[in-house]
Amino acid sequence: MEEPQAYSNPYKQQFDEVEGLSSGKLILAFITSTVIMLASTWGLLTILNLSSVFSIDPSRFLPYTLYMLGASVGSLILAFILCVILVKWPRTVSLPLYIHRYAKRHAGDYFLSPEPEDENLGTVFRRSLYGSVLVVGIALTLLGFELMVQLSTGDLIFLGSVLMIVSIVILPFTIMLLYFGPWLMKDSGLFHLDSKDRSLSNVGDDVEDILEFFAGVDIVLVWLELTFNVATEAPWIPIFIIIVSLGPLFSIILNFTIVFMAFKKKATLSMLRYLTTNFDVPDMAGSPNYIRSRVVALVDRELLRMTPVSSTGSESYVETEFESTPEPEPSPELETEPEPAPKSFNIPPPPGDRKESVSEDDD
């Protein structure tokens, strides 16, 4: 009995050639994250002290600083654990697939065409900013608007505490499913081909656009609500919300991103293997002709063959270069057998949806 052939990722060499972040850059990013953590947290405590909401004991300066450093190191340890889970079990972040499948009403085809890019620190900081906004937006959604406005001046500090606690509680789940998940889908080159609206889009980009829209709108609405309701009573509250998302939480998300960048290549290759072996998603390395045929099928051939030309009092059509140029007859010696279509290329519908996804067969 022959043993099953081991999976060989055709994109491994392509990812190996990509320039990653050096150890020096990762250490520099962590130092920057620590400085942001200390500066933003102490700045936040100073605002609370000047507002007579929370008094700072100067003798507690060293313990407060150690707490901040402990939170920074703890986020690194948690990020390491999550990244190991990503590499070993990529199915744990498959939620973006189901979100996208539901948003597209289970229509269209999926295929893989990864194009890895060189990594840089700009990507790390930009992605971390997006992640902090996402976490704060979800936390504010869970808290609700009524909790935000029905507070007296003496209890306003409770708002910040609850917001930070909720953000920390949902942090591992949000990071895994809604931050790392779409990012891996994007880097894996998972594309969706929609035959209804004739569109081609990256699954990771689509999911991130949806999440970014809802999180950003939620933060803006809450900030406006606080500005109009409590600004005269406690003008520091709207600023507090912004500092929380751009300060301590941004520093923590930055640490998660730093660790993820060290695991990103392995995690992406693991995700490619998962999508290929578990969902039979075709890729450009194994089924290039099939994918091209599906893309070309979306093009209206009538528009390629004929173009309208205005004439005196009437409208006629002329042959274009595509039609006038005869296609060369293929040589019998160069003919090859048609490439078989993958046995299944549709992502299954999300749990709870009993509709069966019907795959199109245009061959």
Q: Give residue 166's identity as a one-letter amino acid code.
A: V
Q: Please, are residues 170 and 139 in contact by the beta-carbon 8 Å criterion?
A: yes
Q: DSSP assignment of 255-315, as one string?
A: HHHHHHHHHHHHHHHHHHHHHHHHH---BTTT-HHHHHHHHHTTS-HHHHHEEEEEETTEE
The mean pLDDT of 228-239, rounded to a whole number, is: 65
Cβ neighbours, 10 Å, residue 58: 5
Q: Return the higher-pLDDT residue of 281 and 7.
A: 281
Sheet holding 199-202, edge to edge: 109-112, 190-194, 199-202
**Per-residue pLDDT for 84 more than 80?**
yes
pLDDT tens digit sequence for 163-179: 677 777 888 888 988 89
Q: Please, are residues 45 and 236 in contact by the beta-carbon 8 Å criterion?
A: no
Instruction: Give me the helix-helix angle, 156-173 and 121-143, nearest 10°.
Output: 120
Per the structure block, which two tokens stand in for 330?
């293929």
Q: Please, are residues 229 and 123 in contact by the beta-carbon 8 Å criterion?
A: no
Secondary structure class of 6 (helix, strand, coil): coil
Strands (E), the chain: 109-112, 190-194, 199-202, 306-311, 314-319
pLDDT tens digit sequence for 293-348: 877 776 654 444 444 544 444 444 444 444 444 545 554 444 444 555 554 445 54
Q: Please, are residues 191 and 172 in contact by the beta-carbon 8 Å criterion?
A: no
Comparing 17-26, 38-47, 220-229, the range with the smallest average pLDDT is: 220-229
Cβ neighbours, 10 Å, residue 20: 16
Instruction: Give me the helix-helix angle, 236-246 and 203-230, nearest 10°.
Output: 160
